[in-house]
Amino acid sequence: MSDVAIRTEGRAGRITLTRPKALNALTLEMVHAIDAALVAWADDPEVALVLIDGEGDKAFCAGGDIREMYRTGTRGDFSYGRTYWRDEYRMNARLAHYPKPVIAFLQGFTMGGGVGLGCHASHRIVGGSSRIAMPECSIGLVPDVGGSLLLARAPGRLGEYLGTTGDRMDAGDAIFAGFADQYLPESGWEALKQRLVHTGDAGEAEAAAHEAPDSRLAAHRAEIDEAWHGSTLAEIMDGLPEEPSEAVQAGVDLMARNAPLSMAVTVEMIHAVRESDTIEAALEHEYRVTHRAMEHGDFLEGIRAQVIDKDRVPRWRHADWRAVTEEDVRRMTAPLGADALRLEGNRA
């Protein structure tokens, strides 16, 4: 298919996203093609590892193709979005449990669906241009594609901070927060890809790694831990220092643009996933929210404001975080019953 190049080269199964003008955003057809390739290669003795990359220098993958979700959702048809998330999450789970090494090259923007495709890989390589984030609260959604597990596992309260602010991580931050493994200047990426194709040895990626850059998040970890320590969004906001540091204030400023309901649900979800600590639990919790996001959440309004009309003035369901009730959060996070996400038999 034209939007993703899937082939074998040497000892590697190769997946290259080929929508650079759309920042390599994932369509449902791309999700299906990638998942089918992963299934086929899992038992193929000729494929020793999987290599995932994207065309262009602006983005590995900046998210999912959400325009179709808006088009169908505004007509009252929520089935397309639910199908997209369900099938994407199954692919995310397969990647997290894949029996062979998966090496992802995360240049430029890696956000949303790109995190789900690249950051569950066994070897996650970042360079100087890498900018990784989970900015879903800014479009009325929540960090998903298994991102809630990465946030729950991040040091201290960085998960709550990154999930509610959508702050962008550079290479050093991404490695510190657990979204990436190795730093390699992008000038060395092509040579490494060729060695991986030739040898089928994932150890080549580890051997090529350079010392990671310093992390801004690491430098401000103590301030972030203290400010984002609450177990709910209300506790976090009520507990903010009267005279916040520059780093904390920058995070609060980022939160001001986000949907209050999404941030409240994100905090709840991260705490729940931290208790279970599995990709299956993370995706199941996320699907509870995304299944309801168009009908009962702020997702359609977020897309309208950020992507369709681009007025950047969303009219959220809640005026601010104080207006979000416990019942509002429970309505989004309650089990789905018969509609729950099913991942049985989804390991490669």
Digit-coded pLDDT (tens) for 59-92: 999 999 899 999 999 999 999 999 999 999 999 9
DSSP SS3 for 167: coil
79-96 vs 279-296: helix axis angle to the nearest 10? 170
In a domain, 252, yes or no: yes
| Nearest partner of 49 among 14, 93, 88, judged by Cα | 14
8 Å CB contact between 132 and 119: yes
> What are the backbone dihedrals phi and psi of residue 65, each rounded to the nearest 5 degrees, phi first?
-80, 95
Question: What is the number of alpha carbons within 13 Å of residue 239 lying toward its C-beta?
Answer: 14
**What is the chain's length?**
348
For 325-332, what is the mean pLDDT?
A: 98
In a domain, 348, yes or no: no
In a domain, 65, yes or no: yes
8 Å CB contact between 229 and 157: yes
Cα–Cα distances (Å) from 22 to 5, 88, 112, 132, in that order, read 15, 18, 14, 17
In a domain, 346, yes or no: no
Q: Positive or negative CA dihedral for 258, 260, 265, 267? A: positive
Measured CA to CA, the distance from residue 44 to residue 9 in angstroms comes to: 13
pTM of the predicted structure, to 2 decimals: 0.96
Please, which pLDDT band fits residue 345 given cuts at 50, 70 and 90? Answer: low
For 316-322, what is the mean pLDDT?
A: 97
Q: Does pLDDT of 216 surpass 60?
A: yes
pLDDT at 188: 98
> What are the backbone dihedrals phi and psi of residue 344, each rounded to the nearest 5 degrees, phi first?
-60, 140
In a domain, 112, yes or no: yes
In a domain, 347, yes or no: no
| Nearest partner of 321 among 244, 229, 234, 230, judged by Cα | 234
Q: Which amino acid is at 109?
A: F
Q: What is the DSSP-derived secondary structure letter of residue 275?
A: H
Any idea what the CATH number is for the domain that residue 193 is in?
A: 3.90.226.10
Measured CA to CA, the distance from residue 177 to residue 162 in angstroms comes to: 9
For 159-163, what is the mean pLDDT?
A: 98
Please, which pLDDT band fits residue 346 given cuts at 50, 70 and 90? Answer: low
In a domain, 278, yes or no: yes
- The pLDDT tens digits of the residues spanning 264-282 come to 999 999 999 999 999 999 9
Q: Does pLDDT of 167 surpass 60?
A: yes
pLDDT at 117: 98
Q: Does pLDDT of 2 surpass 90?
A: no
Please, which pLDDT band fits residue 105 given cuts at 50, 70 and 90? Answer: very high
Q: Which amino acid is at 260?
A: P
Tally of domains in the chain: 1
**86 is in which domain, residue-wise?**
4-339
Please, which pLDDT band fits residue 1 given cuts at 50, 70 and 90? Answer: low
Active site residues: 64, 113, 136, 144
In a domain, 127, yes or no: yes
> What are the backbone dihedrals phi and psi of residue 63, each rounded to the nearest 5 degrees, phi first?
140, -160
Q: Does pLDDT of 347 surpass 70?
A: no
Mean pLDDT of the chain: 97
Sheet of strand 49-54, all strands in order from the earlier edge strand to the far edge: 4-9, 12-17, 49-54, 102-106, 123-126, 182-183
